Every structure is written in structure tokens, then in C-alpha cells.
Chain A
Amino acid sequence: MSEPKRVDRRKFIYAGLGAVALIAIGAAAYVAMNPPVVTQTTTVPTTSVVTTTVPTTSVVTTTVSTTTSPTTSQTTTPTTSTTTTYKPTTIEFWSTFLGGGNNLPREQMLNMLVDILKNEQPWLKVELADKPYGEFPDRLLAACLAKNPPHVACSMWMWDPNFVPFFMEITDEMLEKIGVSKEDYEPVQWDINLWDGKLLGLNTQIDVMGLMWHKGLANEAGIDRPPETWEELADFSKKITDYFHNKGQTDVYGYNLCLRYNHGNTIFRFMPVVWAYGGSIMEITDGGEVKVTINSQGVIDAVNLYVRIYQKDKSCPPTAFDDTADQGNNYFMMNKVAYVIQHPASVDSILNQGFPLSKMGYDLYPKGPVRRAACMGGWNLHFFKDRIKTKEELEASLVFAKYFLSPELNAIWSKALGPGTKRALQTSIWQDEIKLKPWRRVQLEMIKYVIPFPRHPKWTEIALLVIPKMLQSACSGDMTTEQAVKWAEEQIKEKLKG
């Protein structure tokens, strides 16, 4: 009896020791390697600051408003004007920046930012925390509800007032310290952060999409220009689908319709059509009253366009109900779909994966009978009341924001998606980008047509749950368009009540 159990215990102990040894070796190797750049680990003793002209006091005494570093030029050599004696402060910053690919410019920018801060503002230590893109709002909300958000965060979801109680209002005094003003932004970039007359965030970049179309497929079917109107898009889509299906290639389609439930991109691609036809979902008057305008001709026309593409012409991939918007990229690359509404950044990715430039077309959205319209995405910088408690933390956050929004750094950050501040757009980084890539010019042009979403706490729910349901019911034929729109109107009214 003793034999097997002794063997077992020995093996068990050996396995345990082996695991511990592995961890120890790994930890030793880790310590021997360079520490990761994103986490700032140097701390500054309280009695002296790196620059030479500082009196050695250990308590924060100096006033806040005078000698801070210059706002517009980024130099890495510390100037003698940084004579502030701030207590070493750590702030936490959340965003999405890891993982390479699209996020590479963001990661680079943050590393540069940390380096610059090390030299110019050594009292300031920043802890960078990254969350994956899709999970970011949920995790931020969880942290806010648990009363422990970060000091500063750069987050997407610009239309969601549900975070409003957590944001700290940005006063004019704070704006002065950060060094930006209303003139640095396009009106939409500024207004999107206003709530109830208060400024709650600062835009770091705006994102507008365009129409990406497959010149190869279109030319083969006899089309040599992008569609002018949404009706024409449906026509072209049908033409391409019919042409290829007759040739026997039954998995090639025209327009990549997006109908997925609980998916942001569905609403992003539907609203431009609605606005183009002159309709709207709901409107909020200046007095704060909400009018539900969904049951109108514009919306019905827009839904009918979708029904036409999905049901009558069948010129979109049959998986429209559950494809994510980026599936469109896959289909596009595989020459299976001809028209996709996408970000300029996607164009870069697709071209990098070997798609020939000659077959890539990128133009403005089609327009409707009333106007040409687009949705706006983008990222904003916010400060959080529950975390910024002391004067030092506030100062630290403002200094961080100042560097964040300085032209050069903002240009690198915003290159990943779309233009940031106006000054960033003037830097050589952006100018080169615009010169090289025609789709950036389209993006800049599209900014003129942007219409922001209605700002209401229930909008997220309506946009993500009710609208896709309405579209899916109408497209699948379960309800007629009028029935579906009426159903949606009732749903919205009910949600607004509760």
C-alpha cells in the first residue's frame, strides 16, 4: 500500500516544485529584462525635483497658475520654466491602445507621452490601463458604479448620456490650463460634449465613414462610377448581384447590409439613410421635450430601401442578420461583396493584406432626396469626479490632458481613426497622410455632412435593440414596413415613459 501512494506524493511534490521553479525562473527573467514601457515606475523623491532651479521643499506650496511648460511646442529638453514643486502624483488613464494593428499609433503616442512627461513633468506619474474596444464602455460603467473610476479616460460612445453623472465639468479655467478652446474644433466636435450647457469632455478625434466599393466587381458588371443616391446604390447592387449570379458565382453580392441585433454598426449604417430621406427617429427640443418622429415618411422610405435590398432584390449577403460590420471587410477582400460602408482605417488594413489598390474605390456616401448625411464616431477625453479628489490630482490630470491634446501628439493619436484638433490637422503628420491617401480626403469632406445622434439616456437602448428589431421584422417579411415602424414607435414611447 505504501508504494503507490509514496510515488504519488513524490510526483505531486515534484510537480509543485517544478511549477514553482518555472515561476521563479520566469520572474527572474522578467526582472532582468527591461520593464515594460507603458507603466511608469520611476518615482520622484519629495524633497527635490529634477530641474535645477527648484527650492527643496517637501510640501506643495506653489500656486497653480503661473509657470507651467509652454503649451504649443513639444520639446523633450526640460526648460527652466518648470519650477513647479508639485507633490508626486499618480493618475490612472484608461483607453484602448494595445495590440498593434489599428492601435499602433495610439500605443506609440502614449509611450512618447510618458517619456516626455518623465523629462518635463517628473512629478507626474501615469498608469496606463487598456481595455479591449468592445468591452470598454461596460467596464468603465462598472468602475463608475463601484465609485472607483480612473482619473482620466479616453472613451468612445459619444452619444451616451448615461455616463453624464460621472464626468467632471470642464470649466474655462481648466480649459485654459489644458490649452485648447472652442476654435480648435469643428462645431460638431465641440457640441457633442455639451450637456445641459456644461462641457463634459474634450474630443480627441472624430470619425466619419465613407463608401468603399470594389472597382473590380463593379467594372466587370459594367459600372464605372460610385452611386450618387441611395436608390442608385440599390440599383447597382442588384445589377452586380444579377450579373454574377447569372455567371454562376452565386456567392457574390452587391451591398453589405448590416442588420445585426445589439450591434452598434447597424444603427450607424441606418441613420444616414434615414436622414438622407428627411426622416428622424426622435427629436429633442431645447426645452428637453422629446418628440418621437419615427412614424414618418422619411423613415418608411429608408426601411423600404432596406427591405428592397434584402427581400426583393436579395442583393446582400444572406447572413445580414448576424454579420458583424467587419465581416463586410472579409467579404470585400474575398471579392464577394461590392459596396461596404467603412472607415478609412479599414481601407488601410485591407490594402495591407494584399488587396490591390487599383480595385479599391472610396467615395462619399450616396445622398438621398433631402440631403447627404453621415453618422459621427470618435473618442473623447473625460475627467471623473469620483476619483479626482485632491488639487494635485486635478492639476496632474489637466497637465496630462494638455500634453494629450497638443498638436503633435494628438496628430499621432488621431491618425488611427480620423482628424482630431484643427492644429493637429495642420501638422506634417496629418498633411502627409492626406497627401498620400485619397480616402482621408473623402473623410475630411464627409465631416461636413455629419449629424449627431439625439442625446437621450434611452437612445442606446433604442438604437441597439428596437431599431434592429424593426429592421429585421420588416426585412424578413414578418411585418410590413408600416407595421414595423408603428411597432417601433410604440416601443420607443414605452421606453421613454419608463
Chain B
Amino acid sequence: MSLPISRIIKIIRDNIEDILTYVGLTIFSIFAVLPYYYTLLLSIKPKDELPMLTIWTWRPTFEVYFDLLKVGGFFDAFINTITVSLVSSFIATFLAIFSGYAYSRFTFFGKGISFRIIVLRNMFPGIVFLIPYYALLTLFGWINTYQGLILTYLVIVLPLAVWLMSGFIITVPPDYEEQAMVDGCSRFGSILRVVMPMVRPGILAVFLYCFVMSWIEYAQPLTLWTTKKTLSVLLASAIFGETMIDWRLLYCMTIVISFPSLILFYFLQGYIRQGFAGGIKG
């Protein structure tokens, strides 16, 4: 009788780390998902049941989600938000790659100070910037335009993005692109062909960060756009009324707003985790 038990113990001991990992991942996943799942359950309750009293319902329905889609201007707001998020993410990632490269490789006049000043911008709470930005954009006539909003998103997102990219690029020894340049590449080309693939997970992480921050941004489009709206602003109008908060709509909105970021993450996470396949190193 001792044989099977000892075999079981042996199996456990061999794989103890993996088992612990599964347990840990499960616990943390529950922690991450629980409030979200709770919201999801509350959002599928039908409209004639009291909103938050019970969690479970015997008649789950998605009718409140259809109400969400019927909010006036939903489609326009959706297009606006996707456009602004994608454009600002692409521009920010592009600029961040090259600036991060410059910060990790070059020494130039004012490098240290400008680095600190970039970080400085993030030391002020974002709300401090709302009134000056409004005045500044009025000067250019860019209130309620795409370029105005994208510009402010860039300023919010770039400092972190540049820092992150420089951190990733610093881990790559400069030998590789020097090799490529010896072989006849321009510096620009060597960045594209040699460095970028090596920090691909970093690039994707930065792109993801920029996209998510732009997608869920609320205060900037609220202030700087008047007749146009982004999705989070539009839904805030629908939910936060004068006399009541529409809790059902709020729960649906929470679930729906998270979809694009989740979908993007689902596609990108493989690349972030794998790094790059096949090695040049050694």
C-alpha cells in the first residue's frame, strides 16, 4: 500500500512548483475577476427586478445592453473613441521607440535634465492641466477637434512610454546594431530591423498601455470636446442623471467598455509572453 502513496508523493514533489503556480494563478485570477464578475451578474438582471438586492436571477437577459446601444450617439462616440485611441497609440509608440532609443544610446546636450523634466510632467496631477489646455487649444481653435485631443493624449502618455522603451532598449547590448551598421545598414534601418524585433514585447506592452489609457480616458474628452463625445463621456451622461444614477446601465457600461482593451490584449499577449522566437544571441 505504500507504493502508490509514495508514488503520489513523488509526483507531487516533482511538480510542486507547478501546482503552487496553478493555485497562485487561480487565487489571483479570482481576486482580479470577482468584482467584474459581480458586475456582470448584476447587469443581466431583467428590468423589472430590483437592481442590486439579489445577485442571481432566474431570467437572465441582455435587454439593458440593448438600451446601452440605443443611447443617442452611441455609434458616433464609438467611432470617435476608436479613432482617437488608435491614432494616438500608433503615434505615441512610434515616437517612444525612437526617443527611448536616443535616451538609452546617445549622450546629448541636456539629456539628463530633459529626462527629468519629462518625468516632471507626470508629477503634477492631471487636473492641474485642464484649464491651461483649454486655453491653449482655444488659441489654435482646436477645441472639439481630433487633433487637439490626440495632442493632449500624447502628452499624457509619452513620458511613461519613452521611459519604458528606454528601459527595454537598454537591456539590448549595442553590439547588434553596430554589427548591422558595419554590414551597411543606416542607423534608422538598424533600429527597425535589429533592435525593434528584440524589444518587441516591450513595444507591444507600450502600445497596449497607450491604447488602454486613451480608451478609458474620461476627463480630457469631457473638457476639451463640446459637441463631439467619446464613449466614456457619452455613457456618463446616460448614467449620472440629476436625480438618479442608472445603476443597471452603469454595470453594463463597465462590462462593455472593457471589451476592446481585452480583445487587444488577447491578441497581443502571446507576443508579449513569448518574446521573440529563435535567438540571435550567442
Contacts and interface: CB of A to CB of B under 8 A. Distances in A.
Interface of A: 1, 3-5, 8, 15-16, 19, 22-23, 26-27, 30, 33, 36, 38-39, 92, 94, 96, 98-103, 107, 127-135, 139, 142-143, 145-148, 150, 156, 324, 326, 329-330, 333-334, 342-343, 345-346, 349, 353-354, 417
Contacts of B200: 8
Given A36-B72, A101-B238, A354-B49, A5 B197 contact: yes
A147 B135 contact: yes
B82 A324 contact: no
A23 B83 contact: yes
Contacts of A334: 50, 52-53
A356 B258 CA distance: 35
Contacts, number: 150
Interface of B: 47-53, 67, 70-73, 75-76, 79, 82-83, 86, 90, 130-132, 134-135, 138, 143, 193, 196-197, 200, 222-223, 226-227, 229, 233-247, 267, 271, 276-278, 280
Contacts of A107: 72
A459 B116 CA distance: 42
A349 B244 contact: yes
A337 to B, nearest CB: 13
B51 A99 contact: no
A132 B239 CA distance: 8
A132 B240 CA distance: 7
A148 B138 contact: yes
B246 A101 contact: yes
A38 B222 CA distance: 18
8 contacts: A1-B278, A26-B82, A127-B226, A145-B135, A326-B243, A329-B244, A349-B244, A354-B48
Given A4-B278, A329-B244, A342-B243, A143 B134 contact: yes
A131 B237 contact: yes
A343 B241 CA distance: 12
A99 B237 contact: yes
A23 B72 contact: no
Contact of B243 (A143, A146, A343): A343
Contact of A139 (B70, B223, B244): B223
Given A36-B73, A330-B51, A99 B239 contact: yes
Given A36-B76, A129-B227, A143-B134, A99 B280 contact: no
A4 B238 contact: no
B131 A145 contact: yes
Contacts of B241: 99, 101-103, 133
Nearest to A343: B243
B242 A135 contact: no
B72 A142 contact: no
A419 to B, nearest CB: 15
Contacts of B267: 15
Given A8-B197, A143-B134, A330-B51, A102 B238 contact: no
Complex A-B, nearest 4 residue pairs according to Cβ-Cβ distance, in ascending order:
A99-B238, A129-B226, A146-B135, A146-B134
A3 B222 contact: no
A64 to B, nearest CB: 28
A49 to B, nearest CB: 25
